[in-house]
């Protein structure tokens, strides 16, 4: 096994200018990630310099068998923490051979919204808090939980330390460092309320780059849990009952919100979000109704309310934002399995482009 590890960790730059590019895309379910690798003649830093590539869409639920070719368009490049050296991870989106975005390509529509001059001028910042649950591989039960049983009630696990309170820290730390290595703007991690549940934060990042970074961070996490023999779940309510669900709270601000008088802009934006509450909820993740019950730090899925420092609200405004009269707000409705391309672009479209 030591020889295998040596080969996996070979530094290709000692013998070749060639690099490996891992092309990554979102599969047909909207949450499954797929990837495959190709050799390039030398280092590349601009995604527009990368070749397009095809794959079998009939095997990912994205094309019929009789016309299965789907084309990957490279969109963002990150350093590869697994192969290291000059090797790269490439976030792609998917198109038909005729150049039309396939139905599961949510990045294309988001890119159009973020390219709108009115959105560009407002320089939208996002900070996304991605919660997830680590599961024991063969039993599909949270890491650290007794098989077929339950740990003690919630309370000591949030940001907890100790072998009886923290489960999977080696995976979490490996992921944290791998994301920093890759060039993802990961801003922190913490243990969550339910044991075996964790969170990482991406941002503040501008526009569509926030979503690219979340998807690559998810990919890196899946790869690390693959190595560790653990399963990562983005289910918004993995364990029924008196246990916290998993969300992807999305923090948001625009240039106008960050400047003097921004608090009034924030309140107008929240009013717009309230008017489109049902539309947003329908796009904020599958199974979210199991999480948004009005309990466990959530607002009821059918109710829109906002408040300062209220974690039981749909939208939370921080004390500092209220005090300084400018800043950001947090949309607490998105589920952990949300598509960040949909959520971030929808928030921008509602608050900046939509006129009630």
The structure tokens listed for 21 are: 């590019």
Average pLDDT for 269-297: 95
Q: How many other CB atoms are there within 10 angstroms of residue 151's CB atom? A: 18
Give pLDDT, residue 235. Answer: 97
Whole-number Cα distances in Å, 167 to 96, 164, 230, 311: 43, 8, 11, 25
What is the tens place of the pLDDT at every residue in 142-194? 999 999 899 999 999 999 999 999 999 999 999 999 999 999 999 999 999 99
**Model pTM score:** 0.96
* Alpha helices (H) in 167-311, listed in sequence order: 169-182, 209-228, 255-258, 262-275, 277-282
The per-residue pLDDT for range 215-226, each reduced to its tens digit, is 999 999 999 999
Q: pLDDT for 260-279, tens place per residue?
A: 999 999 999 999 999 999 99
Q: Which of 35, 30, 29, 31 minimizes the C-alpha distance to 233?
A: 31
- pLDDT at position 13 is 85
- Whole-angstrom distance, CA of residue 145 vs CA of residue 141: 7
80, 88 Cβ separation under 8 angstroms: yes
Indicate whether 12 pLDDT > 90: no
In 3-state terms, what secondary structure has residue 295?
A: coil
Omega before 204 cis (within 30°)?
yes
Q: DSSP secondary structure string, 91-107? A: EEEEE-TTSPBPTT-HH
d(CA 157, CA 3) in angstroms, rounded, equals 39
Mean pLDDT over each residue of the chain, to the nearest integer:
96
Query: What is the C-alpha end-to-end distance of the chain, expressed in Å?
Result: 63
Question: What is the arithmetic mean of pLDDT over 13-42?
Answer: 95
pLDDT at 213: 98
The pLDDT assigned to 348 comes to: 98
Confidence at residue 11, expressed as pLDDT on a 0 to 100 scale: 87
């Amino acid at each position: 096994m030591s020889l295998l590890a040596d080969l996996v960790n070979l530094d290709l730059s000692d013998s070749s200018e060639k690099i490996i590019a891992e092309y990554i895309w979102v599969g047909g379910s909207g949450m499954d990630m797929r990837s495959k690798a190709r050799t390039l003649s030398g280092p590349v830093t601009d995604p527009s310099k990368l070749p397009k590539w095809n794959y079998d869409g009939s095997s990912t639920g994205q094309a019929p068998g009789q016309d299965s070719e789907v084309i990957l368009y490279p969109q963002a490049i990150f350093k590869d923490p697994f192969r290291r050296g000059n090797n790269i991870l490439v976030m792609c989106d998917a198109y038909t051979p005729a150049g039309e975005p396939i139905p599961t390509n949510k990045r294309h529509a988001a890119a159009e919204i973020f390219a709108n001059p009115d959105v560009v001028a407002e320089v939208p910042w996002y900070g996304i808090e991605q919660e997830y649950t680590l599961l024991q591989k063969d039993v599909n039960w949270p890491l650290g939980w007794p098989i077929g049983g339950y740990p003690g009630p919630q309370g000591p696990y949030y940001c907890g330390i100790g072998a009886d309170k923290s489960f999977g820290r080696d995976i979490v730390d490996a992921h944290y460092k791998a994301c920093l290595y890759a060039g993802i703007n990961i801003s922190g991690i913490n243990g969550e309320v339910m044991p075996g549940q964790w969170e990482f934060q991406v941002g503040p990042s501008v526009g569509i780059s926030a979503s690219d970074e979340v998807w690559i961070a998810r990919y890196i996490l899946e790869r690390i849990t693959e190595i560790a023999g653990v399963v990562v779940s983005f289910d918004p309510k993995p364990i029924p009952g008196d246990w916290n669900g998993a969300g992807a709270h999305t923090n948001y601000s625009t240039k106008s919100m960050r400047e003097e008088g921004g608090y009034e802009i924030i309140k107008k934006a929240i009013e717009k979000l309230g008017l489109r509450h049902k539309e947003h909820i329908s796009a904020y993740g599958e199974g979210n109704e199991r999480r948004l019950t009005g309990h466990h730090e959530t607002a009821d899925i059918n109710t829109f309310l906002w408040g300062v420092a209220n974690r039981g609200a749909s939208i939370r405004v921080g004390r500092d934002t209220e005090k300084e009269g400018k800043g950001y707000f947090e949309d607490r409705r998105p589920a952990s399995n949300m598509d960040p391309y949909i959520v971030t672009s929808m928030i921008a479209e509602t608050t900046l482009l939509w006129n009630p």
